[in-house]
Amino acid sequence: QMVKEGTKKSAASAKATQAAKVVKKGNVVKSKRKIRTNPRFFRPKTLCLPRNPKYERRGRNAESVHRRRMDAYQIIKYPLATESAMKKIEEHNTLVFLVDVRANKFQIKQAVRTLYDIQTATINTLIRPDGNKKAYVRLTPDIEALDVANKIGII
């Protein structure tokens, strides 16, 4: 029995001295730097969280600001009543309007039809140097531009 106790004590003291060494030395072992064999660096993959928006950036429904269609009143701003526009009305059966820059010829034609109940022959557009879009709306021969201009209130 005495022999067993002595071995227990020696084992315990050996364990204690080992623990003391570790405490004294510190168990943090300095890691060796990896030897790079390739000149290309691959960026490490980091955490990618899913998007968590605070408000909707683009509208998903038809009534949102980004999806709202232009109506006739938004497309046609106002008719022009300059001297050159009057000459167009009298000689070329053409009305001149300032329209929204984003409107195309089909939309302008539709807007003129809904607002003034007139059929158009052709529409020519140009963007003026000040950034506004001008539309020359040529009417069909059976409709007089002078009468329409009077009805609108240009003349």
- Summarised one tens digit per residue, pLDDT across range 57-111 is 776 776 666 667 889 999 999 999 999 999 999 999 999 999 999 999 999 999 9
pTM, two decimal places: 0.60
- CB proximity list for 61: less than 8 A, separation 6 or greater: 67
Where would I find the beta strands (DSSP E) of 33-149? Answer: 76-79, 94-99, 120-127, 133-139
Q: How many helices (H) and strands (E) does the chain have?
A: 5, 4
12-71 pLDDT per residue, tens: 888 888 888 888 877 666 778 889 999 999 999 999 999 998 987 776 776 666 667 889
The DSSP code sequence of 104-125 is: -HHHHHHHHHHHH---EEEEEE
Report the alpha-carbon distance of residue 13 to residue 15 in Å, rounded: 5
